[in-house]
Amino acid sequence: MSEEKSLKDHVINLINALTNLSPSRNIISQLILLTPEDQVTISHSFPEINIQDFREVLKAMGMMFGDKIENMKDSFAEAIAKLIHKTFDWLDNEYIYFSSEYFGQYGFVTSQKKMDDVRSHLAKLTGLHIDLIPNPYLEWAKLVIRKLSSIYGKNKITRFVKELLSQSSITDRDYRGKGLQDLINKLGATIGSTPPELKEICELIIYIEGKSEHIYRKGSSRHPEGDVWIEHSKYHLDPLLCESSRYERYSGWGMDYAYELRHKESLKNALEVEA
């Protein structure tokens, strides 16, 4: 019994440790997650960064101070940012990506796996009610939606996210992003947003061009079948998963790009809390 209790204690300690890395609970994690950013913007949001001792801690973690504040490649700060993303997904019952391979017709194929009800299993293992198992992504989504609502108006942000969540998958043929941009323009018209404001809201919530994170390649090196990316937004709500697939056409090979929504339930819950 003592060993069983000890195991539960260790699991709870692990959950708490990961949760305390969440940007909703840790100002250093917020800074790491929101970089790269120019110093003026960061200083406005985080005046603590002007304290020399605090800045030295950030430098020791691998944050670089120049025209922009950013995480150096292969630094501890970069590793924490990646861990935050993985924790967001793991404790939100989201997709976990790893190199699980099987031998197919054209060689080794990398497959995509999904964790099954992680928080439910952890609740049973620890004897805690599931509501006591933290969901760091949900915590962060609440804070982000509250902040953006104070800037752009609660009705505008709420309607924008609701309209986004009401969409089914978006598919582009041979042109990555056109169908997605058409949808964003439609959402902007629905909430009555100007083009510059719509661009800002899109980058804060949905995605920023050039900030895709490649997750894995489908197929083999000899016969590639496509790739999967997570589209990062400035606040890393990251609701879009982009998957490419190869198809044959009369002039050769083409690509389909499909956008699927992630974190749907947590985003809906965040909207309900802030409504």
Give the angle subtended at the CA of 217 by the CAs of 212 and 218, to the nearest 5°: 130
Q: What is the DSSP letter of 175?
A: S
Q: Is residue 42 part of a domain?
A: yes
pLDDT, mean of residues 198-208:
94
CA distance 139 to 23: 9
Say yes or no: 62 and 194 in one domain. Answer: no
Say yes or no: 84 and 154 in one domain. Answer: no
Domain span holding position 57: 2-90
Say yes or no: 34 and 167 in one domain. Answer: no
Please write the tens of the pLDDT for every residue from 1-51.
455 568 888 999 999 999 999 999 999 999 999 999 998 989 988 999 999
Say yes or no: 81 and 144 in one domain. Answer: no
Quickly count: other Cβ atoms within 10 Å of residue 187's Cβ. 22
Specify the pLDDT at position 1.
Answer: 46
Q: Is residue 98 part of a domain?
A: no
Tokens of 55: 């800045």
Phi, psi of 218 (to 5 degrees): -90, 140
How many structural domains are present in the chain?
Answer: 2
CA distance 230 to 95: 11
Q: 60, 90, 120: which is the final residue of a domain? A: 90
End-to-end CA distance of the chain: give it in Å, rounded: 45
CA distance 101 to 109: 5
Q: Is residue 70 part of a domain?
A: yes
Please write the tens of the pLDDT for every residue from 229-266.
899 999 999 999 888 887 777 677 778 888 989 999 99
Average per-residue pLDDT for the chain = 86
Q: Is residue 254 part of a domain?
A: yes
pTM attached to this predicted model: 0.87
Q: 40, 67, 90: which is the final residue of a domain? A: 90
Specify the pLDDT at position 205.
Answer: 95
Say yes or no: 69 and 146 in one domain. Answer: no
Q: Is residue 123 part of a domain?
A: no
Q: Is residue 111 part of a domain?
A: no
Q: Is residue 184 part of a domain?
A: yes
Q: What is the DSSP letter of 263?
A: S
Q: 74, 90, 106: which is the final residue of a domain? A: 90
Say yes or no: 269 and 139 in one domain. Answer: yes
Instruction: Give every CB contact of residue 151 below 8 A, 6+ residues apart in sequence.
Output: none
Q: Are the C-beta atoms of 190 and 163 separated by less than 8 Å?
A: yes
Say yes or no: 135 and 270 in one domain. Answer: yes
Q: Is residue 138 part of a domain?
A: yes
Say yes or no: 172 and 265 in one domain. Answer: yes
